[in-house]
Structure 1
Amino acid sequence: MNPRVTDVLLGAGIALGVAVVIAADWQREVPQSPWAYLFALAFGLVILWRRYAPRLVLTLTVLGIFAYYALDYPPIGIALPAVAALYSCAEQARTLAAVIGGGVLTAVASYFRVHEGLPTAYLVSYELITNVALIAAAIALGVSVRLRREARAQAERITALTAEAAVRQAREHAQDERVQLARDLHDVIGHTLSVVSVHAHVAEEAIGHDDGAARRAIGAIQSATSPALGELRGTVRVLRSDAGPSAPSPGLAGLGALVTSIREAGIAVELEQAVAEGGLSAPIEAAGYRIVQEALTNVLRHSGASAVQVRLVLEGERLRIEVRDDGRGGDAPAGHGITGMVERARLLGGTVRAGAQTGGGYLVQADLPGRLGA
């Protein structure tokens, strides 16, 4: 309901209730004054401002009650004209003002009733208890309504914040997935193009002199590009779909084919893989594969090495990876390869270190948890 309509109905109810009480006073021998009904109207009209100035409305109501009785108009009680003003103060978080206003009304009324000769026993046992009960009920109702309104507003704020957090989390998740896809594309394309480049160079030199070597080089190119194209197609499907399945991640089982492609490029590779099947979480296997892949790609591109040692060992709950070559060493290769390896490891709670070795060669070391949460 519109708040203004509620206020009008509440004001009308107060005015009508007070007017009915005035009209029902049949015990007075003197004629009733029509001015008493103006007070009833005033008590109702002042309620229209209860939302904007609740303490002022309560003050005017209390003073109006005192003025009404000072003019010796028919008794209307003290709680009935003030109940809406007391309720409004409590509802608008002015509870202390409501308690003070109710206390003043009760104290003043009790004083004059005793001064008029009303027996104290009757005052305490009936009239005082009735007035206090009505005043307390009005204040309690106002507090209850305010608390329910605040609880509802708080629930709405929590719902809005929860929805906002969900949207933010979804965006962050989407960003993380885009970064992951970018790393995968970099690793797949970088490795494949490095292998293709080496074998294309071999084929170019062998054409017309050693057709068998040229054919083997071209076959190696085909072997390297076929799985890469499969991974690229899977990645493209993920990018085109809002809720499609994730692209399959390679695992340590693919290291054999990876090492073979490096060997076919003319580099001797020694692979030591002491990891039991099922001993690692799938994301750890995928990260381990990508780290070895990028390290071997850098060997092809930058090191000038003739041999490389790849070692993967599960020690306790940690996966240790080492890729060591006998190349010229030097600073870390330019590009995103090393950065990508470091980021992969950090996201899983691991580390990657890479650098030239004393006496030549380059070493990449990775330390990853065997299982997520370990």
Structure 2
Amino acid sequence: MRTWHDLQQLDAERPWLLDCGLALGIASAAMLSAGTAATPLQLGLIVAISAGYALRRRAPLPVLVVSGALVATMIALGYTTAVIGAGLFLAAYTVAAHRPLRTTLIGAGYCLTVLVAIAAAFPERMPWEGFGTNVALFVGAFTLGRAGQLHRRTARLEAERAELASWKQQEETRHAVTQERLRIARELHDVVGHSLGVIALQAGVCARIVDSDPAEARSGLLAIAERSRSSLREVRHILSAIRETDEPDCPAPGLADTHTLFSGFSDAGLRLEVERLGEPWPLPTALDHTAYRVVQEALTNVVRHAGTDRAWVRIRFEPDRLELRIRDHGVGAAGPEAAGLAGMRERVGAWGGRLTAGPIEGGGYEVVAMLPRDGDDR
């Protein structure tokens, strides 16, 4: 098996070497078949025909045509062609194996013409029984050659298909990894950004009242400690997806948890007016979590950038969509769209929803998110 594999590799790397060896072998066998009675002309024809076989893969059809003419000449001169003529079947196979169908049909037509001419001109050298045998052999050679070409083409297409499938799988894996990184980055941004914003606000309040109202300052510091522990738990929960630990997953927060969220902001000094409208309908867990994060990020931006201690939140369930509206009466946006707002757009867009954000008339800033009930409002 190893020897056959080595021959295949050698044939792929140096096809001319095996073709030359084949031509030399045919020439030697033909000369031995001719014996000592061979004339110089016969030997010359044998050498010429055999030399052509060495070029069978470089120029298959010319080799078939020239070799066929020379073999017909040997038959006309009365020389034996039992060995040298057998090489024509190999030449016919090569034409069919390495050239288009049109060239193969031309080669087949040429071989049939030569056989008919020989059978008609020299019936004693090629009786009609021999003619039928040669026709069958040529048909077999052309058929095998064509089948070999189709097999190689199929194998090449299968290899290309496998390569494309592998490339597609790699791209899908890379895309999945990228999406997961973005998801984790958004989660960390939402959790850490929100917590640090609230902690900074509470710390500022405590610093102002630490001398005048130590008890209230102490209460604020305890709230900061609790907020820090809560945020640390959320960060650990997010990072557990990366570590793939066996710890049970904590449920992702949703709109039902916004009372805790609002309480945290209120403790930090942000006065909130919350309005809930419509008959709530069941939210998919991921969509519920998206709604929670939108509210959280919008309020965090109020704390960071608005320069106000008041905000208004409206959560309205409509028959076909969920509307989230967060408004403040502060100084408006702090500058170009930040990563938090971009993350909200990505979250909402993933559900086929829309998010708008910008200054409002009379001062302040408003974030509005529309999340379709069926997850596809486009």
Partners of 2:278 and 2:324 lie apart in 1 by 10
Q: Tell me how far 1:33 sits from its aligned partner.
A: 3.2
> What is the count of residue pairs matched by the alignment?
361
Distance 1:304 1:331, change over 3 A: closer
Secondary structure at the aligned position of 2:90 is classed as helix
Deviates more, 1:304-313 or 1:132-141: 304-313
Q: Which residue of 1 aligns with 2:64?
A: 58
Q: Which residue of 2 aligns with 1:269?
A: 273
1:108 aligns with 2:110: no
Distance 1:245 1:220, change over 3 A: closer
Q: Which residue of 1 aligns with 2:142?
A: 139
Q: Tell me how far 1:182 sits from its aligned partner.
A: 1.9
Q: Which residue of 1 aligns with 2:55?
A: 49
Distance 1:9 1:312, change over 3 A: farther
Q: Deviation per CA, 1:266-309: give whole Å up to 9, x if none.
A: 312314275747x2223222221111111111122222444433
Distance 1:89 1:190, change over 3 A: same
1:187 aligns with 2:193: no
Q: Which residue of 1 aligns with 2:177?
A: 174
Partners of 2:37 and 2:268 lie apart in 1 by 116
Q: Deviation per CA, 1:189-224: give whole Å up to 9, x if none.
A: 211111111211221222232223112212221232
Secondary structure at the aligned position of 1:49 is classed as coil
Distance 1:283 1:45, change over 3 A: farther
Partners of 2:260 and 2:187 lie apart in 1 by 17
Partners of 1:185 and 1:46 lie apart in 2 by 75
8 Å Cα contact 1:309-1:323 kept in structure 2: yes
Secondary structure at the aligned position of 2:361 is classed as coil
Q: Which residue of 2 aligns with 1:350?
A: 353
Q: Tell me how far 1:240 sits from its aligned partner.
A: 4.9
Q: Which residue of 2 aligns with 1:33?
A: 38
Q: Which residue of 2 aligns with 1:309?
A: 312
Secondary structure at the aligned position of 1:135 is classed as helix
Partners of 1:316 and 1:6 lie apart in 2 by 79
Q: Where in structure 2 are the equivalents of 1:1-374 lying within 5 Å? A: 1=4, 2=7, 3=11, 7=19, 33=38, 46-74=52-80, 76=82, 80-116=86-122, 123=128, 126-240=129-243, 249-266=252-269, 267-272=271-276, 276=280, 279-325=282-328, 327-331=329-333, 334=336, 335-372=338-375
Secondary structure at the aligned position of 1:272 is classed as strand
Q: Tell me how far 1:339 sits from its aligned partner.
A: 1.9
Partners of 1:70 and 1:370 lie apart in 2 by 90
8 Å Cα contact 1:14-1:84 kept in structure 2: no
Secondary structure at the aligned position of 2:355 is classed as strand
Partners of 1:181 and 1:188 lie apart in 2 by 10
- Which residue identity is paired with 2:327? R
8 Å Cα contact 2:27-2:84 kept in structure 1: no
Deviates more, 1:93-102 or 1:226-235: 93-102
8 Å Cα contact 1:90-1:98 kept in structure 2: yes
Could you tell me the TM-score, scaled by structure 2's length?
Answer: 0.81
8 Å Cα contact 1:284-1:371 kept in structure 2: no
Partners of 1:153 and 1:105 lie apart in 2 by 30
Q: Deviation per CA, 1:334-362: give whole Å up to 9, x if none.
A: 53222221122223322210122223332
Distance 1:260 1:228, change over 3 A: same
Distance 1:244 1:51, change over 3 A: farther
Distance 1:273 1:257, change over 3 A: farther
Distance 1:177 1:135, change over 3 A: same
Q: Tell me how far 1:101 sits from its aligned partner.
A: 2.7
Secondary structure at the aligned position of 2:357 is classed as strand
8 Å Cα contact 1:332-1:338 kept in structure 2: no
Partners of 1:197 and 1:282 lie apart in 2 by 30
Q: Tell me how far 1:178 sits from its aligned partner.
A: 1.8
Q: Deviation per CA, 1:208-259: give whole Å up to 9, x if none.
A: 3222311221222123222211122233344456999999643223212111
Distance 1:52 1:104, change over 3 A: closer
Q: Tell me how far 1:113 sits from its aligned partner.
A: 2.6
Partners of 2:246 and 2:135 lie apart in 1 by 64
Could you tell me the TM-score, scaled by structure 1's length?
Answer: 0.81
8 Å Cα contact 2:321-2:370 kept in structure 1: yes
Q: List runs of 5+ in structure 1 lacking aligned partners.
A: 24-30
Distance 1:78 1:370, change over 3 A: farther
Q: Tell me how far 1:90 sits from its aligned partner.
A: 1.1
8 Å Cα contact 2:262-2:272 kept in structure 1: no
8 Å Cα contact 2:26-2:83 kept in structure 1: no
8 Å Cα contact 2:306-2:331 kept in structure 1: yes
Q: Tell me how far 1:261 sits from its aligned partner.
A: 0.7
8 Å Cα contact 1:329-1:355 kept in structure 2: no
Q: Tell me how far 1:91 sits from its aligned partner.
A: 0.9
